[in-house]
């Protein structure tokens, strides 16, 4: 079980430490899923799983990175469940189109749209590194991949994004 | 050195080991193409870092908090183990309590004699036969009579009591009276003996080293006589 905490404190501690990170988790979830509903579900699921597994979190390590690994697993599970339905219902898109955010400027909007067109496997690495600024080690742990794979996903992700930025948006 | 674009990515991110970093730095001085890649990656990184995050709806944080609260171990999940522990202590206490045991054996006495013929495992009027039947199954029996106050040994069995104990139960009866001898395989909180009543039956508890004998009957007189016979060593020769 790892470090034991009194169960009464557990919820308090988890809520106090993890809830302030919800904006960052939501932003990542939103960029991964491409829509509000799935993003909210994903964040909710991430917090519930995190709460249940909080005994296994090592205090002193990066809680945000730990939550991203949970979010990644929850997203993988959700995709696994949903994929067959999507094939029937609608064509699968690599990056679902983003609904434009009102406050975004033109260039930002272009960048957000281009990012949405990067395949999710690369987009996820890009978000964790370039937006959330996790280290290669933290990304490797969160996604359960070798550091070399983190590097190659980032290389591919940035290359695809650069290309997407040059292409006219659909 | 040939171009290794993935290592250029690692270089831009400051994720390379010293020797590799120096190697890539040297390569970048010579290779305009890789230099351009590094510049573009830095530019993309900077732009992504500046990207404003999609804003969550205002109620989301509260919803998340409420979701966690619902998962909090409720009062019941804290109280149930406590209640179970209290019950276990109560059962242990009751198992050692003469008054509780008296009730439990009377209950079993009534249950067994409710039948026309008690549900014995061994039917015999022979005390030594019944005694050795128990002995073969690891229960050491006191010497008990085959007849007492006109009542005849009818048979015996192991009875599961309400408190979970399995006890030796010996039946005596005549046409309208019934007496039970129970051998309970543990000592109770008992000086030497206790006479009491439960559910209209008379009960005598006799403490021994690691056993308790319980005699139950409708008549206090019958209970007295069997108890006396058990206490006198000559009990076995009374036939």
The tens place of each residue's pLDDT in chain A, 170 residues long, gives 444 444 557 778 888 999 999 999 999 999 999 999 999 999 999 999 999 899 889 888 899 999 999 999 999 999 988 765 444 333 334 444 444 444 556 777 789 999 999 999 999 999 999 999 999 999 999 999 999 999 999 999 999 999 999 876 55
Helix (H, G, I), strand (E, B) or coil at B170: strand
A22 touches chain B (CB under 8 A): yes
For residue B26, the distance in angstroms to the closest alpha carbon of chain A comes to 20
Distance CA A137, CA B26 (A): 25
B58 touches chain A (CB under 8 A): no
Global confidence as pTM? 0.56
Distance CA B195, CA B198 (A): 10
Is the Cβ–Cβ distance between A29 and A8 less than 8 Å? Answer: no
Q: With b meaning 16 or more CB within 10 Å and e meaning fewer, what string describes B194-203?
A: beeebeebbb
A53 touches chain B (CB under 8 A): no
- Any idea which residue has 């179970």 for tokens? B84
A77 touches chain B (CB under 8 A): no
β-partners of residue B202 are B197, B217
Which residue in chain A has the smallest CA separation from B11?
A151
List the helix and strand counts (H, then E) for chain A: 8, 0
Closest Cβ opposite residue A26 in set B47, B60, B72? B60
Distance CA B184, CA B202 (A): 17
Q: Which residues contact B78 (CB under 8 A, 6 or more apart)?
A: A7
Helix (H, G, I), strand (E, B) or coil at B168: strand
Copy the structure tokens of residue A141.
Answer: 């742990």
Query: Hey, are the CB atoms on B65 and A19 less than 8 Å from each other?
Result: yes
Chain A residues touching residue B68 (CB < 8 angstroms): 11, 14-15, 19, 47-48, 51
The CATH number of domain A1-89 is 1.10.1740.10: yes
pLDDT, residue A71, reads 97
> What are B1-50's pLDDT values in tens digits?
789 999 999 999 999 999 999 999 999 999 999 999 999 999 999 999 99
Copy the structure tokens of residue B147.
Answer: 């007849």
For residue A83, the distance in angstroms to the closest alpha carbon of chain B comes to 25
> What are B82-126's pLDDT values in tens digits?
788 778 777 776 778 888 899 989 999 999 998 888 899 999 999
Helix (H) or strand (E) holding A110: helix A106-116
Tell me the domain boundaries of chain A.
1-89, 110-170
Distance CA B160, CA B168 (A): 9
Query: Class for domain A110-170, per CATH?
Result: mainly alpha
For residue B90, the distance in angstroms to the closest alpha carbon of chain A comes to 27
Q: Do domains A1-89 and A110-170 have the same CATH topology?
A: no
Is the Cβ–Cβ distance between A46 and A33 less than 8 Å? Answer: no
B75 touches chain A (CB under 8 A): no
Closest Cβ opposite residue B64 in set A43, A52, A101? A43
Is the Cβ–Cβ distance between B125 and B153 less than 8 Å? Answer: yes
For residue A81, the distance in angstroms to the closest alpha carbon of chain B comes to 22
B17 touches chain A (CB under 8 A): no
> What are A95-143's pLDDT values in tens digits?
444 444 445 567 777 899 999 999 999 999 999 999 999 999 999 999 9
Is the Cβ–Cβ distance between B39 and B47 less than 8 Å? Answer: no
Copy the structure tokens of residue B111.
Answer: 């249950």
Is the Cβ–Cβ distance between B109 and B180 less than 8 Å? Answer: yes
Chain A residues touching residue B50 (CB < 8 angstroms): 108
């Amino acid at each position: 079980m790892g470090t034991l905490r009194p169960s009464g404190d557990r919820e308090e501690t988890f809520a106090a430490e993890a809830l302030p990170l919800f904006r960052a988790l939501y932003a990542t979830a939103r960029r991964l899923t491409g829509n509000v509903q799935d993003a909210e579900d994903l964040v909710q699921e991430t917090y519930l799983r995190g709460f249940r597994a909080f005994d296994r979190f090592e205090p002193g390590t990066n809680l945000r990175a730990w939550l991203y690994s949970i979010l990644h697993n929850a997203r993988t599970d959700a995709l696994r469940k949903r994929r067959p339905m999507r094939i029937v219902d609608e064509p699968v898109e690599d990056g679902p189109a983003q609904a434009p955010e009102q406050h975004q400027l033109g260039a930002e909007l272009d960048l957000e749209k281009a990012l949405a067109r990067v395949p999710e496997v690369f987009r996820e690495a890009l978000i964790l590194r370039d937006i959330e600024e996790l280290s290669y080690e933290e990304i490797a742990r969160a996604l359960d991949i070798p550091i070399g794979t983190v590097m190659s996903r980032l290389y591919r992700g940035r290359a695809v994004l650069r290309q997407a930025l040059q292409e006219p948006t659909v | 050195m040939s171009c290794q674009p993935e290592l250029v990515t690692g270089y831009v991110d400051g994720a390379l080991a010293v020797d590799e970093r120096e190697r890539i730095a040297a390569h970048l001085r010579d290779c305009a193409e890789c230099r351009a890649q590094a510049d573009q990656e830095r530019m993309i990184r900077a732009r992504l870092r500046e990207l404003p995050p999609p804003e969550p709806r205002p109620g989301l944080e509260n919803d998340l908090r409420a979701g966690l609260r619902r998962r909090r171990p409720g009062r019941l999940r804290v109280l149930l183990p406590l209640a179970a522990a209290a019950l276990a202590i109560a059962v242990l206490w009751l198992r050692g309590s003469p008054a509780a045991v008296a009730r439990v054996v009377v209950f079993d006495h009534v249950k067994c004699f409710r039948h026309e013929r008690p549900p014995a495992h061994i039917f015999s009027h022979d005390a030594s036969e019944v005694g050795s039947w128990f002995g073969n199954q690891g229960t050491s029996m006191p010497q008990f009579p085959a007849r007492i106050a006109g009542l005849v040994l009818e048979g015996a069995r192991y009875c599961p009591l309400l408190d979970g104990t399995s006890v030796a139960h010996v039946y005596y009866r005549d046409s309208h009276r019934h007496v039970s001898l129970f051998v309970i395989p543990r000592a109770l909180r008992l000086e030497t003996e206790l006479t009491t009543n439960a559910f209209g039956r008379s009960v005598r508890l006799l403490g021994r080293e690691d056993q308790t004998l319980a005699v139950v009957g409708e008549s206090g007189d019958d209970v007295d006589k069997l108890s006396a016979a058990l206490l006198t060593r000559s009990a076995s020769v009374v036939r």
